[in-house]
Amino acid sequence: MLSMKRLSQPALIAAVVAALSATLSLGRAGPGTGSVQGIVTIDKDGSSKNDRSQTVVYLEGVPGSSPDLDKLRRSIRQRDQTFSPDLTVIVKGATIDFPNEDKVFHNVFSLSEAAKFDLGLYKQGESKSITFRRTGVVDLYCNIHPEMVAKIVVVDTPFFAVTGADGRFRLDGVPAGTYPVVAWQARGAPYRGEVTVTPGGNAALDIKLVEGQVSKTHLRKDGTPYGRYK
């Protein structure tokens, strides 16, 4: 890492100004930035779903974005034998805390390529954390309670949005340029397209997804089925 002592004062000021303006440019309109907005529709068995929530829309390869990873830290609680929330988008390099707020023990784990971990058993009031280093989708489970399931989507950009039930999304403060855009859903193939953002512009996207069938069962961390005990 570059030592601050070796920078001359003007260079140091320039570095600080550059860091500040990079931070300020995120999430707000500025010169040379525009917006992306649109709507996701989801087809299931030949008809359009009313609930278009939980679709993750994000851009790839946006230059000059070095997000504040501390501000992007998130938390997934273990509460009432569920993970809350059950979908989290995390920016690569940021951390998720996993506090146990239940009276019972839990054992949070993942066998996914993007992040393999086993937090072990811990009790109410304790928390462990994981920093996510690879992009991809992480299936989160508890080794004791098969009904505890959650997904984590690790993206390499601060320019992401999660749709609500109406399927609408909006990304602001995007530097002008042409970027790949991805819409990820848990129950089917992702959408992949491209969007061109112009300064002060508002690029519109109409994204159509098809929902398929997904298996609802999974195995424990050692590859065996869950027992019948509760």
Minimum CB distance to Cu ion smaller for 26 or for 142: 142
Least distance in angstroms from the C-beta of 128 to Cu ion = 14
Encode the chain in three state secondary structure. CCCHHHCCHHHHHHHHHHHHHHHHCCCCCCCCEEEEEEEEEEEECCEECCCCCCCEEEECCCCCCCCCCCCCCEECEEECCEEECCEEEEECCCEEEEEECCCCCEEEEEEECCEEEEEEEECCCCEEEEECCCCEEEEEEECCCCCCEEEEEEECCCCEEECCCCCEEEEEEEECEEEEEEEECCCCCCEEEEEEECCCCEEEEEEEEECCCCCCCCCCCCCCCCCCCC
Minimum CB distance to Cu ion smaller for 70 or for 80: 80
Find the residue with minimal CB distance to Cu ion: 142
Q: How far apart are CA 219 and CA 121, in angstroms?
A: 17
Least distance in angstroms from the C-beta of 230 to Cu ion = 11
Minimum CB distance to Cu ion smaller for 45 or for 222: 222
Minimum CB distance to Cu ion smaller for 92 or for 106: 106
Minimum CB distance to Cu ion smaller for 117 or for 177: 117
Minimum CB distance to Cu ion smaller for 55 or for 78: 78
Least distance in angstroms from the C-beta of 163 to Cu ion = 28
Q: Contact positions toward Cu ion, by CB under 5 A?
A: 106, 142, 144-145, 148
Q: How far apart are CA 30 and CA 20, in angstroms?
A: 14
Least distance in angstroms from the C-beta of 147 to Cu ion = 9
Least distance in angstroms from the C-beta of 188 to Cu ion = 28
Least distance in angstroms from the C-beta of 124 to Cu ion = 12
